[in-house]
């Protein structure tokens, strides 16, 4: 398993591009590997024949563990296979958690009219349909009937690639089901239920990395939080006017927030900084990480030098980065090394929240929904578009007064967005 990204510690084989017995050339794509942030092509390091695949699609391996053997057609590889098995066993023992004090109670058998999925995602329905957990989840989200999908995995197993092909072949998107009251599941009157049946889905490399990084953030990094409410009336008017003049621009409120954040960071360089153990690193440009939700977790593609780019450039770049982030096609340099991050949950109707800092960055801005509410203006109550933002600060880098001054500047620019054009 090669190191395909700077933060990668292990990889998950998404798809083998070659099969056992195929000839391969040095540098030829051999497999697609899911790293912690993206899907990358792994290239063959030598020429020959792919004699043995040691790690199946959907399985993970730490860096350096053998995942396949390339050799000559008649070469004896038995010793290599045994060596690889020994390496895999050692790695598995190192990751095996200690047994729980009490054994996990056995899951109850399903009722006669039900079928229960097994731990590997299989479901019995007359015959057996084999499906990987991630493929099952993707099919459920896309409204795809698994019985209509032909599996291309081992033993006819339905894998991620099969669902992606089925999704692209659908002529019409699945319609949301009409609302209906939730009825109780039919069952025998007075039936006593034991612990719920369950199935375990493998954790993606991205989700595992998120878990590791968050553990090293909220505990070791001394967070404090600053919240401000902003009058968004003028910013909303500016955005609407720009999109009327340039319909193809499709500027969003989040694009405006990115540009304003970059402008404020240039005025407060102490916030555009990170803690480096013995030094505090001050960045010359505002490299803004923009949180994007994907099926495997959160990733933050970066708008580099956002202070030097126009709103139109930022809007176009963010759309392109988000599309490639969801397709897991980002390059490592496109999602590592931000100087400041923005997480916007306003589109989900969240009014206010706090975000966890992504080390070694010094701060992250949590953006809530823009909503109309009554406010006092010139001794009168009027309805205005308002938005609440909360900045999480690393107290090792940013003091309370510095963070407050940054938010004050951020608020002033958003409430008077013509400043962006005067300072350009």
Active site residues: 395
Closest CA to 42 of 69, 15, 65: 15
Which backbone phi and psi does 175 adopt, to 5 degrees?
-80, 145
Structure tokens at 77: 């590889």
Which backbone phi and psi does 54 adopt, to 5 degrees?
-95, -25
* CB-count exposure of residue 287 (10 Å: 0-12, 13-18, 19+): buried
Structure tokens at 112: 């006669």
Q: What angle do CA 17, 20, 26 make, to 5 degrees?
A: 60
Cis peptide before 360 (omega within 30 of 0): yes
Q: Which helix (H) or strand (E) holds 388?
A: strand 380-394
Is the CB of residue 50 less than 8 Å from the CB of residue 43? Answer: no
For tokens 């390059």, the residue is 331
If you write DSSP's letter for every residue of 23-83 in order, what string do you get? EE-TT-EEEEEE-SS-EEEEEPSS-EEEEEE-S-TT-EEETT---EEEE-TT---HHHHHH
CA of residue 206 relative to chain centroid, distance: 6
Whole-angstrom distance, CA of residue 356 vs CA of residue 348: 18
The 3-state DSSP class for residue 163 equals helix
Is the CB of residue 216 less than 8 Å from the CB of residue 359? Answer: yes
The 3-state DSSP class for residue 416 equals coil
Q: Residue length, the chain? A: 424
Whole-angstrom distance, CA of residue 138 vs CA of residue 127: 22
Closest CA to 341 of 352, 331, 355, 324: 355
Whole-angstrom distance, CA of residue 9 vs CA of residue 34: 11
Whole-angstrom distance, CA of residue 261 vs CA of residue 245: 24
CB hemisphere CA count around 168 (13 angstroms): 5
């Amino acid at each position: 398993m090669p190191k395909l990204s700077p933060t990668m510690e292990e990889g998950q084989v998404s798809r083998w591009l070659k099969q056992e017995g195929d000839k391969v050339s040095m540098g030829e794509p051999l497999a697609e590997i899911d790293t912690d942030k993206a899907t990358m092509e792994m290239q063959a390091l030598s020429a020959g024949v792919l004699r043995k695949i040691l790690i199946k699609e959907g399985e993970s391996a730490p860096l350096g563990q053998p995942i396949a053997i390339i050799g000559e057609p008649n070469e004896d590889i038995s010793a290599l296979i045994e060596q690889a098995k020994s390496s895999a066993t050692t790695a598995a023992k190192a990751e095996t958690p200690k047994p729980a004090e009490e054994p996990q109670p056995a899951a109850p058998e399903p009722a006669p009219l039900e079928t229960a999925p097994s731990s590997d995602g299989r479901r019995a329905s007359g015959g057996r349909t084999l499906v990987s957990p991630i493929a099952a989840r993707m099919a459920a989200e896309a409204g795809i009937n698994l019985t209509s999908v032909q599996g291309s995995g081992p033993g006819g197993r339905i894998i991620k690639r099969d669902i992606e092909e089925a999704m692209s072949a659908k002529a019409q998107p699945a319609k949301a089901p009409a609302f209906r009251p939730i009825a109780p599941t039919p069952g025998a009157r007075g039936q006593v239920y034991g612990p719920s049946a369950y199935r375990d889905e493998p954790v993606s490399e991205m989700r595992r990395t998120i878990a590791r990084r968050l553990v090293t953030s909220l505990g070791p990094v001394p967070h404090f939080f600053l919240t401000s409410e902003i009058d968004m009336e003028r910013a909303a008017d500016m955005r609407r006017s720009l999109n009327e003049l340039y319909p193809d621009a499709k500027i969003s409120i989040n694009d405006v927030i990115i540009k304003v954040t970059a402008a404020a960071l240039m005025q407060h360089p102490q916030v555009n900084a990170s803690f480096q153990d013995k030094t505090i690193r001050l960045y010359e440009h505002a490299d803004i990480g923009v949180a994007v939700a994907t099926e495997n977790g959160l990733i933050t593609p970066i708008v580099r030098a956002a202070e030097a780019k126009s709103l139109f450039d930022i809007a176009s770049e963010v759309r392109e980065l988000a599309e490639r982030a969801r397709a897991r096609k980002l390059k490592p340099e496109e999602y590592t090394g931000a100087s400041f991050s923005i997480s916007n949950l306003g589109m989900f109707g969240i009014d206010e929240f706090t975000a966890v800092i992504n080390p070694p960055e010094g701060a992250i801005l949590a953006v809530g929904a823009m909503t109309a509410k009554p406010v006092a203006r010139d001794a009168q109550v009027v309805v205005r578009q308002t938005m609440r933002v909360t900045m999480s600060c690393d107290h090792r880098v940013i003091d309370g007064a510095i963070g407050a001054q940054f938010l004050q500047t951020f608020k002033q620019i958003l409430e008077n967005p013509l400043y962006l054009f005067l300072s350009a």
